[in-house]
């Protein structure tokens, strides 16, 4: 642990690790603050001096904690192994459990390696190679014979066409000769096939025997691997701040992705809970060579959705978190609220427990009856309107449905376009088999209309205003990226083809105007574009 010197940094969180407490059902949050980000950057500076840390890219994490004597320290962790080692001085140790199955793991891995080598050998047998070579050879012979037979058949047909000049006796003799030739062709073909089968069948029998063994080995490997994983998942026990411990299998009964329990966040939180330390803030970042998932060295990342996020609710249980909405309210009265939604936050909660944090769930902490009038994509920032009662909700929803509102979005496109302004009229359809992606479909799509105005060209990018007339899912994103539209995706829109390494989707709902359901006056709301 490292003591934290006095710092005067902006305490405003830049991200929250969130999860619902399994006991209370409350949303728990652990922030990533500028202070802990600075601690992380100090660690990056240390890693930059060690060439070994760049050989294998991985996630690193730091956790700012408070002791029982109110001292603040930082602890650090790495995902997986560091230079081939699980335990490294100065770093949080792995979650206990793996050591309990170390002997069983070593024996299983040795058996799996032996099985793998046998599978390789079985796939490279002499019989298999001979069968492949002879099959090609006999196929060529049969094709050559077939060509010769077709030529002879054609010649016989030509002869038949001249038979009208023959006598009955000559005709009978000629037909018998042609029939004999045809039968001879058939015998030649059968003989060659019999020769083929006599040679290939013993080889096929040996191959079939090998294939049976291959299937047995693969099944054995699958069973042994599953058994080892189950042993390890039962052995890994995580502790939370209630003092409760639970195995990975208990926490993720539906299935446990490979590597769960070896990530930074679970390591840090488990260690803090087991040592009686109170978490204050946490930050995770990527360091080293890049990753196929677009991880960038030195960038901060949140909890991974597959391995870490499902554990967060349990691991944060016992923390007392203040009720802080962390939402910028740009308009509020007794009937409605408009907030400036940050990118990365859902408008409404998702279907799974790890996707419950949203604008709606946060505001319902203060306003239990609040209803969301429309939605923004998770990665889109900007004005989001909510009603505080059912009557207001119905009036505002009607305005959106009848296109009586006026919306202006600001975006940066990942390239240049030739047009200065215009309209994009392309019907959109969401394929149920390819969610959440939308596409242009002139048969199944719903009418979708967007007006646009270029604001300025910046290097190889284009800043534009979008004025959507309709409000389809991903409308602006598809209209920008589609070849029939602008043909250039919005910067940061990896779903629709942007390849740039940027932190966010560059799309912001900048302006919204509507008629107030009570005053009947037009309300115009504007926000500052954050990019």
Give the catalytic positions in this structure: 377
Tokens of residue 275, six digits? 């040592």
- Helix 309-316 to helix 264-274 angle (10° resolution) is 10
Phi, psi dihedrals of residue 265, rounded to the nearest 5°: -60, -50
DSSP labels for 153-212? HHHHHHHHTTGGGS-HHHHHHHHHHHHHHHHHHHHHHHHHHHHHHHHHHHHHHHHHHHHH
Q: What is the DSSP letter of 525?
A: E
Do residues 52 and 64 make contact, with C-beta atoms less than 8 angstroms apart? no
Using left for φ > 0, alpha for ψ between -120 and 50, and beta otherwise, residue 445 falls in beta
Nearest CA to 189 out of 147, 235, 232, 237 is that of 147
| Angstrom distance (rounded) from CA 303 to CA 19 | 11
Dihedral angle over CA of 391, 395, 398, 403, nearest 10: -160
Both structure tokens of 473: 């899912």
DSSP character for 6? Answer: P
Question: Cβ distance 262 to 35 under 8 Å?
Answer: no
Calpha distance 213→231 (Å, rounded) = 27
Read off the DSSP letter of residue 243. S
């Amino acid at each position: 642990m490292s003591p934290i010197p006095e710092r005067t940094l902006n305490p405003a969180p830049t991200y929250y690790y969130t999860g619902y407490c399994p006991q209370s059902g409350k949303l728990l949050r652990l922030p990533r603050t500028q202070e802990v980000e600075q601690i992380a950057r100090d660690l990056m500076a240390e890693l930059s001096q060690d060439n070994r840390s760049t050989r294998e890219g991985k996630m690193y994490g730091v956790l700012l904690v408070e002791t029982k004597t109110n001292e603040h320290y930082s602890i650090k962790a790495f995902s997986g192994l560091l230079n081939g080692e699980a335990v490294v001085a100065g770093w949080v140790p792995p979650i206990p459990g793996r050591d309990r199955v170390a002997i069983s793991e070593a024996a299983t891995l040795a058996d799996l390696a032996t099985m793998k080598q046998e599978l390789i050998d079985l796939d490279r047998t002499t019989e298999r190679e001979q069968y492949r070579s002879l099959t090609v050879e006999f196929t060529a012979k049969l094709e050559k014979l077939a060509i010769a037979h077709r030529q002879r058949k054609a010649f016989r047909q030509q002869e038949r066409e001249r038979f009208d000049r023959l006598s009955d006796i000559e005709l009978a003799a000629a037909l018998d000769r042609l029939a004999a030739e045809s039968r001879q062709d058939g015998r030649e073909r059968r003989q060659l096939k019999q020769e083929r089968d006599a040679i290939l069948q013993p080889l096929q029998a040996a191959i079939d025997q090998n294939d049976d063994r291959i299937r047995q080995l693969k099944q054995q490997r699958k069973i042994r691997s599953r058994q080892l994983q189950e042993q390890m998942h039962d052995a890994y026990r995580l502790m939370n701040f209630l003092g409760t411990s639970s195995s990975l299998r208990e926490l993720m009964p539906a299935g446990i992705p490979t590597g769960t329990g070896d990530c930074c966040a679970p390591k840090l939180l488990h260690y803090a809970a087991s040592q009686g330390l109170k978490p204050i803030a946490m930050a995770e970042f990527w360091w080293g060579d890049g990753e196929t998932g677009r991880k960038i060295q030195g960038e901060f990342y949140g909890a991974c959705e597959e391995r870490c996020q499902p554990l967060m609710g349990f691991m944060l249980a016992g923390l007392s978190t203040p009720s802080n909405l962390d939402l910028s309210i740009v308009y509020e009265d007794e009937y409605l609220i408009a907030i400036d939604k940050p990118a990365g936050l859902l408008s409404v909660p998702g279907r799974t427990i790890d996707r419950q944090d949203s604008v709606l769930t946060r505001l319902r902490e203060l306003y239990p009856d609040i209803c969301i009038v429309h939605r923004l994509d998770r990665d889109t920032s900007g004005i989001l309107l909510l009603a505080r009662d059912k009557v207001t909700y119905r009036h505002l929803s009607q305005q959106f449905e009848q296109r009586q509102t006026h919306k202006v979005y600001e975006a940066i496109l990942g390239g240049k376009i030739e047009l200065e302004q215009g309209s994009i009229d392309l019907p959109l359809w969401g394929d149920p088999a390819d969610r959440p992606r939308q596409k242009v479909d002139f048969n199944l799509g719903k009418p979708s209309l967007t007006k646009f105005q270029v604001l300025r060209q910046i290097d190889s990018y284009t800043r534009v205003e979008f004025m959507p007339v309709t409000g389809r899912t991903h409308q602006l994103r598809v209209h920008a990226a589609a070849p029939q539209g602008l043909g250039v995706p919005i910067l940061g829109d990896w779903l629709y083809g942007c390849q740039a390494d940027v932190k966010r989707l560059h799309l912001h709902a900048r302006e919204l105007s509507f008629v107030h359901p009570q005053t009947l006056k037009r309300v115009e709301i504007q926000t500052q574009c954050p990019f």
